[in-house]
Structure 1
Amino acid sequence: MESRTIRNIKTLSPYLCAIKFNFHFLLPLGQRQIAKINKIAHDHHLQTMADIKLNDIGNTNSVTAETLWGMGFDSVIANPIMGPGNLEKLILHAHKNGNGVISLCHMSSPEAQMTYELPVQLKSKKTILYHLFLEWATSLGADGIIVGATFPDIVSFCKKKSRGKLGIYSPGIGTQGVTYKRQSSQDLTI
């Protein structure tokens, strides 16, 4: 997996600005392997994102983020379901250290409609969950949002509502849910 990833970085780097490494990709790798992959990506002028959808209390988020940044990641993808207070702490911590936070707004899977489009009642207003996530990302200074490319109307809505304050990253073009076959504890193949 490591050699294939490095080969892909070298081949595709002229066409990319960043690479998003999913949680299931990172789990079987060691810290040295991850740091090596991040260094090669940086050598090819690419930013790297840890797509772990971080979602916990402030201290856990900080420790996790520090570990990821120590391995060379430029940013972390966070799930704002943790609440605005914890999201803000993570963003402030990231910015203090020269790193970024990309906040999940709406996922690309078809099932995302069942959750991210839920109506929610706040104290005095009714809204849609992903609208709330967009509002938090914008007001708290996130470095960008994730909105699945499989929902182009929502991508357009978020672009209009954020008024250029946020980068929008839209995964989900093409095949969703690639199946990986584990050959050993150190090898994963597509």
Structure 2
Amino acid sequence: MASFKSRIKKLSSDKSPLILANDYESGVSDMESRTVRNIKTLSPYLCAIKFNFHFLLPLGQKQIAKINKIAHDHHMQTIADIKLNDIGNTNNVTAETLWGMGFDSVIANPIMGPGNLEKLISHAHKNNNGVISLCHMSSPEAQLTYELPVQLKSKKTILYHLFLEWATSLGADGIIVGATFPDIVSFCKKKSKGKLSIYSPGIGTQGGDIQKTIQSGSDYLIVGRTILNSKNPKETAKSLFDLAKN
């Protein structure tokens, strides 16, 4: 089997760089059937679909495995967006469970430290799966944390610069950088010398612009509420697809 990085790159080339953030708000019923409908209806326009904690927790392993299989049958990769962040053994046990349910990759929080992140990446790659590492998120409050100054023994830096450095040197499959910060997307692309794929949430509802984000260097565009809350999700996905392909 090809690596996760190769699989999603091919699907992006064949279809588009759009990824659906299937993260429904609280109080929404029938999340499983809604998700299956999304996959079947929107898959021509998407290379992947991601699921956050609040979507996964109410479901059982069989339900999640079923959803992942349907996504794969419709030529989409699946991403567990759980911001995994713990010691090496806990991360590996969690990852094994995710791979067992059919996930292709996991989003991790590098605050766990480079040693634990390296072990997680190695574990994922042995299974042809991927790790996408947080670098700078899309919400306005991300500036309060990801842009904090950090004092290391040998130098001063900024937190997201450090996260970028770790992801690049440890061979992560990609990083998360919000579409709402195109200058940071551009910085990360140049600093990593193209070695890292950039996944950008925040398209649409949060204010991220598709074409500006692509021009800044993002490889994958994560869209959630713009599609999920649309009166016609298929039509909305198609319009975003057209923008991403032009």
TM-score, normalised relative to structure 1: 0.91
Alignment of 1:107-118 (within 5 A): 107-118=137-148
Matched, 1:187 2:242: yes
Among candidates 107, 115, 120, match of residue 90 of structure 1: 120
Task: Report the CA distance shift for 1:148/1:86 in structure 2 as closer, same or farther (over 3 A).
Answer: same
- Whether the aligned pair in 1 keeps the contact of 2:179 and 2:185 (CA below 8 Å) is yes
Identity among equivalent positions (%) equals 92
Q: How far, CA to CA, are the matches of 2:132 and 2:146 in structure 1? A: 16
- Whether the aligned pair in 1 keeps the contact of 2:45 and 2:241 (CA below 8 Å) is no
Deviations 1:118-167 (A, max 9, x none): 01011111111000000000000000001111111111111111111111
Task: Report the CA distance shift for 1:41/1:184 in structure 2 as closer, same or farther (over 3 A).
Answer: closer
Task: After TM superposition, give the deviation of residue 168 of structure 1 in Å.
Answer: 0.6
Task: Report the CA distance shift for 1:133/1:121 in structure 2 as closer, same or farther (over 3 A).
Answer: same
- Whether the aligned pair in 1 keeps the contact of 2:108 and 2:132 (CA below 8 Å) is yes
- Whether the aligned pair in 2 keeps the contact of 1:57 and 1:82 (CA below 8 Å) is yes
In structure 1, runs of 5+ residues without a counterpart are 177-182
Task: After TM superposition, give the deviation of residue 20 of structure 1 in Å.
Answer: 1.2
Let me know the Cα RMSD of the aligned residues. 6.1
Task: After TM superposition, give the deviation of residue 12 of structure 1 in Å.
Answer: 1.0
Moved over 4 A (4+): 183-190
In structure 2, runs of 5+ residues without a counterpart are 1-30, 207-237
Matched, 1:11 2:11: no
Task: After TM superposition, give the deviation of residue 174 of structure 1 in Å.
Answer: 2.2
* Residue range with higher mean Cα deviation, 160-169 or 75-84: 160-169
- Whether the aligned pair in 2 keeps the contact of 1:53 and 1:78 (CA below 8 Å) is yes
Q: How far, CA to CA, are the matches of 1:187 and 1:70 in structure 2? A: 35
Q: How far, CA to CA, are the matches of 1:166 and 1:72 in structure 2? A: 24
Task: After TM superposition, give the deviation of residue 175 of structure 1 in Å.
Answer: 2.6
Task: After TM superposition, give the deviation of residue 187 of structure 1 in Å.
Answer: 33
Task: After TM superposition, give the deviation of residue 188 of structure 1 in Å.
Answer: 31
Higher relative contact order (CA 8 A, sep 6+): 2
Q: How far, CA to CA, are the matches of 1:5 and 1:11 in structure 2? A: 10
TM-score, normalised relative to structure 2: 0.71
SS in 1 for 2:79: strand
Matched, 1:99 2:129: yes
Deviations 1:98-124 (A, max 9, x none): 111000001111101000000101111
SS in 2 for 1:93: helix
Deviations 1:25-49 (A, max 9, x none): 1111110110011001101111111
